[in-house]
Amino acid sequence: MMSEGSIDQQAAKLLKRANEENDDSAEKVQTNKRVKTEEQRTDDERKYPKKKVVLLMAYSGKGYYGMQRNTGTTQFRTIEDDLVTALIKSGCIPEDHGDEMKKMSFQRCARTDKGVSAAGQVVSLKVRLIEDIIEKINKHLPPQIRVLGLKRVTQGFNSKNNCDARTYSYMLPTVAFSQKDYDTTNIAAFRLEPETLQQVNRLFTFYKGTHNFHNFTSQKAASDPSARRYITEMSCGEPFLCSNCEFAVITVRGQSFMLHQIRKMIGLVIAIVKGYAKEEVMERSWGQEKVDVPKAPGLGLVLERVHFDRYNKRFGGDGLHERLEWDREEEAIKAFKEAHIYPTIVETECQEGSMVSWMSTLPIHDFEGTAGETRDNKDLKQDNADDGNDSD
């Protein structure tokens, strides 16, 4: 007869053996799944090899913390977060490329900051050229983000480095150009006089050419060569009515722009037109001393178009690659702006009054002062005043 102890030992051995067999079975299942996944991935890569392409994107930036993805954090949602998710779900890229974007050679042409929109953003990356690729990507994107075009490019193409110039627009209520004693409680009644529009455009012409824009960004020394930027165009168009308020659109084209540069360029001209600063401050702002330059709200800023003139000249006519121009997509671009970008700017401006609120901060700026500490303190106050409107 077996003792109680022997029976317990035998039962323990049997239980251990059963657990080991279960572990082995589970491991085999996991291994089989892994093998099937790898086989599926191999089949996909064989059927749809990865190719270097550019995607033409349009998006409304409201509710997003800019374009660029911050890998490892989900607290601040960006445009690229939603784009990468759509690329994975549509089968354009493997899932592991989402965490390491360098695996797909991803590069954006322009980094737009919090709240800033785009009608012609271009990103370069390697994707599987699946059938109906644009339709499948858009299926997994929210309505305020759209891929509007795709073109094959050379293997070494980089959308940021190959970009020759960028064109931005800035939509604002024309009351921004009213005199400083104007009653801003009745902005709907304001109409921009032709003489004032002429003054605005005359001031914008001063920006054309190459200047040292160290005062138009943050933490950039006057001696830093990267502060020198080349502006080719800048002007304000004719005013128009929208939701009973008068608006206008400023257009600026340059080789590249620093953080907040465009908003500060516009902010300084507004300060001069309103009578807070003298014209000579523009010339002084390009010198070695620090000048207090106000930063206009980010709401109306839109990346309109990016330009690849050198690439088009070299590869556009080689018979293998298309020119990076989007004439066929113009109607889709226009429709997206009218449906998602312009209404958001107008509605937000009318409801929240970001421009009028910002205008009330102009008196705190010292346009005659040159001390760095003074300028930094004013910037801090202004940053607090228009918090939530960060942009390029």
Residue spans of the domains in the chain: they are 46-164+308-341, 165-307+353-383
Whose structure tokens read 């737009």? 112
Could you tell me the sign of the dihedral formed by the alpha carbons of 114, 118, 124, 128, in that order? positive
- Say if strands 107-108 and 117-128 run parallel, antiparallel, or are unpaired: antiparallel
Radius of gyration of the chain (CA): 28
Which pair of tokens denotes residue 314?
A: 């070299």
Which of 81, 82, 113, 386 is labelled catalytic? 113
What CATH class is the domain 165-307+353-383? alpha beta
Residue type, position 308, single letter: F
Closest-CA residue to 87 (of 48, 117, 46):
48
Whose structure tokens read 């003792």? 3
Annotated binding site for substrate: 168
Alpha-carbon dihedral 177, 180, 185, 189, rounded to 10 degrees: -40
The H-or-E segment that residue 57 falls in is strand 50-59
pLDDT at 210: 97
CB 148 within 8 A of CB 87: no
Residue type, position 301, single letter: L
Burial of 129 (0-12, 13-18, 19+ CB in 10 A): middle
The H-or-E segment that residue 261 falls in is helix 261-274
Neighbours of 30 (CB within 10 A): 10
* Residue ranges in the chain whose pLDDT is less than 70: 1-9, 11-46, 72-74, 370-392
User: How far is 2 from 8, CA to CA, in rounded Å?
Assistant: 10
Pick one of 3.40.630.30, 3.40.50.11540, 3.30.70.580, 3.30.70.330 as the CATH number of 46-164+308-341: 3.30.70.580
- The model's pLDDT over 224-279, given as tens digits with 9 standing for 90+, comes to 999 999 999 999 999 999 989 999 999 999 999 999 999 999 999 999 999 999 99
pLDDT at 144: 97
pLDDT at 371: 46
Active site residue 82: no
pLDDT at 48: 77
pLDDT at 381: 43
- The model's pLDDT over 200-227, given as tens digits with 9 standing for 90+, comes to 999 999 999 999 999 999 889 999 999 9
Residues pairing with 124 in the sheet: 54, 107
Which pair of tokens denotes residue 185?
A: 């409680």
User: How far is 209 from 169, CA to CA, in rounded Å?
Assistant: 18
pLDDT at 40: 54
Residues pairing with 42 in the sheet: none
User: How far is 392 from 380, CA to CA, in rounded Å?
Assistant: 17
User: How far is 9 from 13, CA to CA, in rounded Å?
Assistant: 6
pLDDT at 376: 44
Residue type, position 188, single letter: A
User: How far is 265 from 267, CA to CA, in rounded Å?
Assistant: 6
CB 61 within 8 A of CB 301: no
Neighbours of 188 (CB within 10 A): 14
pLDDT at 34: 59
Find the distance separating the first CA and the last CA of the chain, reported in whole Å: 87
CB 243 within 8 A of CB 343: no
Burial of 332 (0-12, 13-18, 19+ CB in 10 A): middle
Does 165-307+353-383 match 46-164+308-341 at the fold level? yes
pLDDT at 38: 54
Q: Buried (b) or exposed (e) across 271-285, using 16+ Cβ within 10 A? A: bbbbebbeeebbeeb
